[in-house]
């Protein structure tokens, strides 16, 4: 079943203890799409400028990702720069240059409107809702957000929250959204505001799922080397939604398996800079790590 993602397509500059890269492929929609494509067909809605390298589009196309919703606009592609500290848990945003992303008004091509699984990556909450209105009959809708929107667009965010089935955010965002530090209570408070499924990512501490069945906890895969945590959350969401689409279900059992697939994709993504680990990652490796997760948590 088809997955639709709306979000940033970016050129990133990243500094980390393992090295430094400039003008590499990034953006929430790209991380999400590449990860989700291991499981199901994927459609992308986003915008790039005239400076966006052709080779990045060719890479996404070579994966069979449908780029029919990418607008080519006059101007510069969204650029983001970030620097990680030694422990890799802390990140400093060096700059965010919106470029053509500033005037982005997502429009679904006609053949995208029947998308069954819809992921609204981190964009203005009003635009997120606008996308929902264009999707004709989605079975599962999920959203991300960030501190900026929580602080500056609280009432719009509230309306979007009430309109989605699921939210995938990190622990700090859950706290900001609710004012509650305890994640169990915060998740409960968010569920009361709309989404029946709340997923809270906790970086190297894994992820927590809250739904009508209760709580499920997934660890992060213990890695020997992490080069670049950028996009981990989006790769996680891609693995999660892609796996649900492959199963054609978002019931409790499917959700729990999908959380593990999300963790699998995030763990691969951070092994190298940008989306580089996905360039040679095979389907077999994905399934093998899924089994390794099973061994890791069985007792
Ligand atoms: P994450 O590590 O999950 O925060 O995702 C990082 C990716 O999101 C990078 O590739 C950035 O290009 C992109 N990004 C950073 N800031 C924003 C923003 N304000 N809006 C949309 N995308 C962003």
Please give the C-alpha separations between residue 229 and each of 5, 164, 221, in angstroms, as whole numbers: 21, 27, 13
Q: How far is the CA of 231 from the centre of ligand 1 (A)?
A: 7
Pocket flag, ligand 1, residue 28 (CB < 6 Å): yes
Q: What is the pLDDT of residues 2-51, one digit of tens each?
A: 999 999 999 999 999 999 999 999 999 999 999 999 999 999 999 999 99
Q: How far is the CA of 195 from the centre of ligand 1 (A)?
A: 23
- Tell me which residue has its CA closest to atom 11 in ligand 1: 27
Predicted local confidence at residue 299, as pLDDT:
87
Predicted local confidence at residue 89, as pLDDT:
84
Contact between 179 and 154 under an 8 Å Cβ cutoff? The reply is no
The pair of structure tokens assigned to 124 is 């203005």
Check pLDDT > 90 for residue 180. yes
The pair of structure tokens assigned to 243 is 């796996």
Paired residues of 169 in beta bridges: 200
pLDDT band, very low/low/confident/very high, at 277 (cuts 50, 70, 90):
very high
List, in sequence order, every beta strand (DSSP E) within the chain. Answer: 3-6, 10-16, 19-26, 42-48, 66-72, 78-84, 91-97, 117-120, 140-143, 166-170, 197-201, 207-211, 214-218
Q: Is 66 helix (H, G, I), strand (E, B) or coil?
A: strand
- Tell me which residue has its CA closest to atom 6 in ligand 1: 231
Task: State the DSSP code for 37.
Answer: T
Contact between 241 and 142 under an 8 Å Cβ cutoff? The reply is yes
Q: How far is the CA of 42 from the centre of ligand 1 (A)?
A: 19
Pocket flag, ligand 1, residue 82 (CB < 6 Å): no
Is pTM beyond 0.95 here? yes
Pocket flag, ligand 1, residue 128 (CB < 6 Å): no
* Cβ contacts of 96 within 8 Å, gap of 6 or more: 78, 79, 80, 81
pLDDT, mean of residues 268-285:
98
Indicate the number of domains in the chain.
Answer: 1
pLDDT band, very low/low/confident/very high, at 296 (cuts 50, 70, 90):
very high
CA 43 distance to own-chain centroid: 14
Check pLDDT > 90 for residue 285. yes
Contact between 60 and 264 under an 8 Å Cβ cutoff? The reply is no
Mutate to test the pocket of ligand 1, among 12, 24, 27 (most ligand atoms within 8 A of CB): 27
- What is the domain-level CATH number for residue 105? 3.40.1190.20
Contact between 233 and 168 under an 8 Å Cβ cutoff? The reply is yes
Pocket flag, ligand 1, residue 8 (CB < 6 Å): yes
Range of the domain at 231: 3-297
Pocket flag, ligand 1, residue 169 (CB < 6 Å): no
Predicted local confidence at residue 166, as pLDDT:
98
pLDDT band, very low/low/confident/very high, at 57 (cuts 50, 70, 90):
very high
Q: How far is the CA of 132 from the centre of ligand 1 (A)?
A: 21
Complete DSSP assignment for 188-244: HHHHHTS-SEEEEE-GGG-EEEEETTEEEEEPPP--S--S--TTHHHHHHHHHHHHH
């Amino acid at each position: 079943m088809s997955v639709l993602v709306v979000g940033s397509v970016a050129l990133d500059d990243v500094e980390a203890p393992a090295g430094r890269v400039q003008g590499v492929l990034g953006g929430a929609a790209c991380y999400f799409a590449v990860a989700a494509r291991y499981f199901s067909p994927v459609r992308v809605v986003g915008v790039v400028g005239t400076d966006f390298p052709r080779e990045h589009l060719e890479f996404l196309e070579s994966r069979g990702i449908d780029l029919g919703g990418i607008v080519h606009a006059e101007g510069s592609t969204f650029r983001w720069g970030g620097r990680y500290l030694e422990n890799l848990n802390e990140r400093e945003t060096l700059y965010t240059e919106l470029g053509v992303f500033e005037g982005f008004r997502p429009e679904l091509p006609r053949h995208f409107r029947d998308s069954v699984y819809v992921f609204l990556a981190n964009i203005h909450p009003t635009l997120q809702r606008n996308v929902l209105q264009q999707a004709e009959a989605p079975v599962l809708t999920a959203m991300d957000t960030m501190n900026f929107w929580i602080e500056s667009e609280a009432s719009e965010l509230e309306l979007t929250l009430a309109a989605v089935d699921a939210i995938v955010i990190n622990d700090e965002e859950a706290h900001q959204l609710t004012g509650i530090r305890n994640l169990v209570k915060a998740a409960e408070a968010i569920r009361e505001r709309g989404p029946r499924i709340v997923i809270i990512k906790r970086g190297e501490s894994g992820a927590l799922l809250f739904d009508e069945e209760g709580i499920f906890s997934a660890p992060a895969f213990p890695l020997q080397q992490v080069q670049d945590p950028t996009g981990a959350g989006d790769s996680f969401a891609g693995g999660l939604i892609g796996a649900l689409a492959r199963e054609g279900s978002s019931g409790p059992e499917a959700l729990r398996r999908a959380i593990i697939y999300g963790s699998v994709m995030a763990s691969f993504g951070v092994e190298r800079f940008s989306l580089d680990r996905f360039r040679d990652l095979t389907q077999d490796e994905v399934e093998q790590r899924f089994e390794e997760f099973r061994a890791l948590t069985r007792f």
